[in-house]
Structure formats: structure tokens, C-alpha cells
Amino acid sequence: MTYEELRKSTNRGWNTWYSPSMTAHVLLPYGFCIGLCFKDYAESGLIRDLKVGDHGLRPGSRSWDGAYTSLTFRAGRVEITVESTTRGGEEYILVTPAGKAIRPPALVIEAALLWGKPGMLWSRNGQIGASFADGREITVRTTGLRDPYTCPSALTPYLPVTLDTPVVVSTAPATVEEVRAMLDEVRAKVIAEEAAWGENAAAYQAMRSCLAWDTIYEPEHDRICSPVSRAWSEGWGGYVLFDWDTYFAALMSQFGSRELAYLNAFAITNEATEEGFIPNFGASDDNKSRDRSQPPVGSLVVLRLWERFRDDWFVREIFPALYRWNTWFYEHRTLGDGTMCWGSVNFAPKNGRYFEVNSTGDLQGAKFESGLDNSPMYDGAVFDEAHGWMLLSDVGLTGLYIEDCRCLIRLAEIAGEDGKVPVLRERMMAAEAAMATLWNPDSGIYENRDAVTGQFSHRISPTNLYSLFSSRVTAEQKRSMAEKYLLDPDELGGEYMLPSISRRDPAYPDQDYWRGRIWAPMNYLVYEALSEAGMEEEMRILAASSRKLLLKEWNEHGHVHENYNGTTGEGCDKPNSNNFYHWGGLLGYIAVMQAKKDGQNI
């Protein structure tokens, strides 16, 4: 198997592949789309291109592969449920209204060909569909009655039907009762898969639902991948993949789809720049951050995937890019004392995009590389323009680099790259020695250090705990960090863990992005560091808190947030916390992994 073979073999089947709308069902490789739009007569225009939060849209249980999907939303006073299933290559959709309106809403069924795929659309005899050069013809049928009042300005064939009773939309003849029976069967299977996780059933449901809905077809590279959210992709010209976000999507995908896990790992790794690093972002039209990278978590994720699936071909193919990335960090982000720092360099942008023009070769660009865009840890840091460095020895990056080396050593052995092992081991030992110099005995934790003044920074974040990736951390140091910081409710502990800056920090009340809010990737990386350090009880505490945080918004609103309020656990309190951002599912991943570690037979 190769990535190219994997990519081609997975570009097929019915699913919610079309990024702009969660009510569009698409068949690959044809690009044929059944679009569901809705007309509420109390409003002008059609309700279309729905995403989480639009008209109260709430996603429900769904499968990884689109064999079952479900969501609800409101069209005026009427609540509408849309469920779908695939059987024998045919698509069956049931649209069920609940509630009364002066005039019932209408369902407008559209047929479209997406992404320039070849074919011919048609409308005839009360049906719509498409024909293709290979002889295949797809006919879209409905049990609904034509709505005489609905005449939308449509550019493609459409069928308007009155939505006063349940309506089937399908590519093969089927009654409402027949489709209900199909849905009952597949829904029961999906719910049983969730229930198998016991007390973590809802956490698994949230993780799977968010990641599966955020998985799309990306036509520029003819691939399936999982951008952070549908809303973010729309603002970036079609798609955007962020470095650690997409690796974490690969990590979570392992619980439902080996193929999706590998597709996401390759998708972001293949965005590597000419200099050999994985960029902060890669988007359409070759728009990527050639000035900066982001946290080096790729080897950790790839190793976790190998540990689950044991596919050596996957490691052999992806290892060279991960090794080049490790080398780039060593050569471009290592200060003279061996500690690591974040950075950003000037370069001539290809197309003048905003991010590349206004955030390169400066302190903000280096903050973006950290992934912690406005963290108080970096307030007032000095930036060295000559080297493109933030002059701050960073505990978080140094810890992540240690783990990157450790994971790459194992991956090198799997890939048959034994000659790389001594180099990686030397780099890891050097980084561990450098980390040892960042221990502050007065505060009892590893701290960032100003590379100009030599003074420790006392601004404490979960990234300080990435020091636990080092094998040189002593038992007494572990105890100190756990008691004084990890578990202290006035620092990083409390009901909801882990705030992105200590609760004692003057920036904590800001609760704006990385200034005090809780972020799932921080929780996950601390969880991995605790695991490396053998701190099992602390792992359980963090897993339980993470699950509680995720389920607060999921149970209330069906949201999986980009970040959460450090005090209240809310996500909706800030407009810059995307409400369906897949790495929020890492909170569920932590809980699920802890259940496995505790021996639950799952």
C-alpha cells in the first residue's frame, strides 16, 4: 500500500463531503450532490448551506463513514430532523418535520455536479438526476408532494415538496416505512458502538460526530481530509489544514477509520515546505506559512497510529518527512545553550495573502508558530530579527522536541532507518540536558527563561508540564509540579482543567483565546507527558475533568468548541471560539484512552 493507492481507493461513496453544507449528500468519485434546502415562509430566501448553530442546527449520532448521519434544526416554528443511510450503493434520506406553522415549510431538493466533475444533469417526469460517461445514471426520487408555492431561483434541477409529513429523498424507490426500518437498524448499530464506551459513551459520540462531520473532499489535491471546521475552510478559499490540529485529527480518527487516520496524517505532512518543515497552515492555491512551523507533534501521532494498526508501510513512507522536520527544528530553533525557541523569518510571499504579509519575521509570527497566538507567556518577549527567533528558552517546545526525538527513534527502527537513530538519540539527550537548566528550584517547576537577561519567567502554563517528557525529571520534581501547579485549583487545577495560563496570572481574567481559556490540545499533550512520567493518578484526574468539560457544551448544545472558559466551562461565551472545531474532541479522546489504560474491555 502507498498513500497514492490509499487516496484513490477512498475517494468514493456517499457522504457529507461538501464543505459548505451539512445537508448536502455527495457521491464520489462522480461529485454528484443531492442538496437539501428549506423554505420557511416567514423568511425570505432559502435555508441552505447549513452548519452547526445555523437555525439551531444540532448534530446527532453518526457513523465515521456516512453510513448513518443525523441532525436537527429549525425552520421557523418547525423542527426538522434529517437522517440518512447508505445501502447497496444507494442513498436514502428521511426528512421529518415536527411542529405546526401557518404554512408548512417546503423542502427543495437540488441536483448538482460539484468541483467540475463531468456529467449531465437533467429534470424529467418529476424526477431529477445525472448521467455519466461510464453509463451510470443517478435518479433522485421523493415521496413528497410538489409544493405549488415554491419557485426558487435555482441554477440546477430541483424538486420542491411540501414538508408537512415525513419525506423520503432517495436514489432508489423506497417508502417512508422502508427507510425508517433501514434507519432504525443502522442507528441502533451506531448507538451500540457509542454505548460500548460505558461512562465515556457521550464523550466518544461528541468526538466522532465532530470529526466525521468536519471530514470533507478537497478537490485541489483530490483527497479526503479533515479541516478544523467547515466554517474555517470557507474563509480560506476552500480548505485549510493546520499543523498540530490535523495531526490530532489523524490521532482521533483511529477509533473509527484507519484510512481516515492515515489520510489526515499524510494530508498535513504533504504540506511540507521547500525547506522541509510542516507549516503552521497549508491552504488552497499553495498558500502556506513558509515563515514558520508549529508544534512538532507529527511523530507522536504517527507512532500512536502504528501502535494501534502495525502498518509498517505507513511509517516507511511518512518517516523521511518527519525526520526532515526534526532536523529543521534542530538547525533553526536551537539557541546557543541547547534550549529551543519559537521563531518566524521574513520571506517574499507568493500571493500576498494577509497572514503571510503581516505576521512574518516578527514576534507575532513566532507566537503563531507556538500555536498559542496571544499567550501571556510571550508578552514583552524580545525578537531577534537577524535569526528570526523569539529570545525565550521555551519549556514547551524543548519538551515537545524531546518527545519528537524519542518517537522518531522508534519510527526509525520500524522504517528500517537505523542509521538515523544515533543522530536522534544525540539530539534528544542534548535537549534533555538543556531542559535540566530550566528547572527553577525556588518555584518548583521548569520555567521559560529570557535568553537576553537569563531571568526565569514566572508565567505558568500547561506547556511548563511538557517538561515531563524528559527522562531526567526526578520523582521529587514530578511531585512538586503536580502538587503546586497541576492539581492546585488556584493554578492549573480546579473543576475544569487546564487553563492556558495560571489562574493566578493577571491575564487569566481576560478569558480571550490563549489568555486563560482551556484548550483540548494542551490537555492532551499534558496527558501524554504524564503518561511518559508514569503519573497514573494525575492522568485519571485530568481525564475525568476533560470529559466533564467536553460534555457540558455537547449535552447542552451539541457543540464541540475550539476552546472553553477556564472558570465556567462554557464555549459559547466568546465569539472567537468556533463551536464545532474537531480538536475539541481530544477531551473525549483523553477520557477514552484512560478507560483503555484502566483495562475496560472496549
- Report the alpha-carbon distance of residue 457 to residue 421 in Å, rounded: 34
Nearest to 233 by CA among 283, 285, 167: 283
pLDDT of residue 593: 95
Q: Are 407 and 300 in contact (CB under 8 A)?
A: yes
**Which set of grid coordinates corresponds to residue 373?**
497566538
User: What pLDDT does 350 receive?
Assistant: 64
209-248 per-position pLDDT tens digit:
999 999 999 999 999 999 999 888 877 878 999 999 999 9
* DSSP class per residue in 39-88: E-TTSSS-B-S--TTGGG-EE----TTSSEEEEEEEETTEEEEEEEEEET
Q: pTM of the prediction?
A: 0.96
What pLDDT score does 428 carry? Answer: 98
pLDDT tens digits along 386-435: 999 999 999 999 999 999 999 999 999 999 999 999 999 999 999 999 99
**Residue corresponding to grid cell 500512536:** 304
User: C-alpha cell of 482?
Assistant: 503536580
User: 231 and 51 in contact (C-beta within 8 Å)?
Assistant: yes
Peptide bond connecting 155 to the previous residue in cis, omega within 30 degrees of 0:
no
To which residue does cell 521574513 refer? 346
How many Å apart are CA 246 and CA 563, to the nearest integer?
A: 16
In contact, 272 and 296? CB cutoff 8 Å: no
**Residues in the chain where the model's pLDDT stays below 70:** 348-357, 601-602
- What is the pLDDT, as a whole number, of residue 349? 66
Q: Residue 287 forms beta bridges with which residues?
A: 283
* Percent of the chain at pLDDT exceeding 90: 89
* Rounded Cα gap, residues 487 and 478, in angstroms: 12
Q: How many CB atoms lie within 10 A of CB 575?
A: 7
Q: Which domains does the chain have, with CATH numbers?
A: 3-183 (2.70.98.110), 206-597 (1.50.10.10)
Handedness of CA 436, 442, 446, 452 (dihedral sign): negative
Radius of gyration of the chain (CA): 25
Find residue 33's DSSP bridge partners: 26, 112
Alpha helices by DSSP H, 371-471:
395-415, 421-436
Write out the DSSP string of 123-151. EETTEEEEE-TTS-EEEEEESSPB-TT--
The number of beta carbons lying within 10 Å of the beta carbon of residue 44 is: 7
Among 281, 296, 356, CA closest to 521: 296
Yes or no: say if 444 and 480 are a contact pair by the CB < 8 Å rule.
Answer: yes
pLDDT at 149: 75
Nearest to residue 79, comparing CAs of 60, 59, 56, 102?
A: 56
For 390, the grid coordinates are 523569539
Instruction: Report the distance separating Cα 437 and Cα 296, nearest Å.
Output: 22
DSSP-assigned states of every residue in 220-248: TTTEEE--S-HHHHHTTTT-EEEHHHHHH
* Other Cβ atoms closer than 10 A to 67: 17
295 contacts 280 by C-beta, under 8 angstroms:
no
Give residue 598's pLDDT: 87
